Amino acid sequence: MNFLIGENLTGGYGGADIIRNCNVSVGTGEIAVVVGPNGAGKSTAMKALLGMLSLRKGRVLLDGNDITGMSPQERVSHGMAFVPQNQNVFVTLTVEENLEMGAYLRRDDITETMNQVFELFPVLKEKRGQLAGELSGGQRQQVAVGRALMTRPSVLMLDEPTAGVSPVVMDELFERIIEVKRTGVAILMVEQNARQALNIADRGFVLVTGENRFTDTGEALLANEEVRKSFLGG
C-alpha cells in the first residue's frame, strides 16, 4: 500500500524542467531510497513531494488524498516531516529546544515523544542542554532527525542524512532509521552512499537526468548488473 506517491512529477526552479515524469512512492513501514549521479534531480524530486517546487505536471498523493496544492507548512501539519541536507538544526538553540520546536504544532504533552527520541538517540539526552551548534556532525544529524520525529510524522523524508559523516556514524544512523521504520513510519531518503542505502531499502529509485531509470526493491537493484556498473562503482 503506497502511502506517499509522486506521480509524473515535472518541474524545476523557474527555468528548464529539472525532473521529468518522475515517479516516486513509499509505503507505511518501508524505506524508499532515491539514488543517482550528481545533478540527477534527486533532491529536487524530494522537494517536489514537499511542495517546495512548483510543478508543471503531475500530482502528489498522501494517504490517498491529493495534496499537490498544499504549502509545505500544511503538508507538515498533515504528517510529513522533512530533514534538509544543510542547516537542519537550530544552531543557537539547545538540543532540547530543537526538539521542542519540532513539536511546535502540537498542543498536547510532548514528553513521551521526546523520551522516545532520547531512547532512539541516547547521546541527545546526555547533551540536551547543549547548543546544537556545538555538536559534532553526526550528533547534529541525530538532532535533525529527532526534531523531525517530534511531530510524530507518518512520512519522514531525509535529504542525504549521511552527507559528511564518517562511515561508522553512517552505519549507526542507518540502524536508527530502520528502528524508526519499524514504528510504522514511511521513510523516503535521498542518498549519495547508494550501496549502503540500497542495502536497507525496501524499494529503490535510480534517477538519471531527472527521469526514472530503474525502479525495484533495494535487493534487486543491488543485484542488477547494469545498476552496479553504472551507479555503484562495479
Q: Which stretch binds other proteins (CB under 8 A): 23-31, 94-102, 162-170, 218-226?
A: 94-102
Of all helices (H) and strands (E), which one includes residue 111?
helix 111-120
* Closer residue to other proteins (CB): 90 or 205: 90
* Closer residue to other proteins (CB): 107 or 182: 107
Judged by CB under 8 A, the residue of 7, 100, 172, 219 near other proteins is 100
Residue 149 C-beta: closest distance to other proteins, Å: 12
Residue 150 C-beta: closest distance to other proteins, Å: 8
Residues numbered 151-180 forming contacts with other proteins, rule: CB under 8 A: 151
- Looking only at the bridges linking them, the beta strands covering 31-35 and 203-208 are parallel
Cβ count near 138 (within 10 Å) = 17
Judged by CB under 8 A, the residue of 76, 149, 186, 190 near other proteins is 76
Residue 184 C-beta: closest distance to other proteins, Å: 22
Residue 106 DSSP one-character state: -
Total of residues contacting other proteins (CB under 8 A): 21
Please tell me the chain's helix, strand, coil percentages from 3-state DSSP, rounded to the nearest 5: 40, 25, 35
**Grid coordinates given for 6:** 509522486
Mark residues 134-153: x for contact with other proteins by CB under 8 A, - for none. Answer: -------------x---x--
Residue 136 DSSP one-character state: -
* Closer residue to other proteins (CB): 159 or 191: 159
- Which three-class secondary structure state does DSSP give residue 228? helix
Judged by CB under 8 A, the residue of 97, 172, 202, 211 near other proteins is 97
- DSSP symbols for 169-215: HHHHHHHHHHHHHHTT-EEEEE-SSHHHHHHT-SEEEEEETTEEEEE
Judged by CB under 8 A, the residue of 92, 129, 168, 233 near other proteins is 92
Quick one: residue 164, left, alpha or beta (phi over 0 = left, psi -120 to 50 = alpha)?
left
Q: How far apart are CA 142 and CA 118, in angstroms?
A: 10
Residue 210 C-beta: closest distance to other proteins, Å: 23
Burial class (CB within 10 angstroms; exposed 0-12, middle 13-18, buried 19+) of 63: middle
Judged by CB under 8 A, the residue of 101, 112, 167, 217 near other proteins is 101
Check residue 90 for interaction with other proteins (CB under 8 A): yes
Q: Can you give the binding site for other proteins, defined by CB under 8 A?
A: 72-73, 76-77, 82, 84, 87-93, 97, 100-102, 104-105, 147, 151
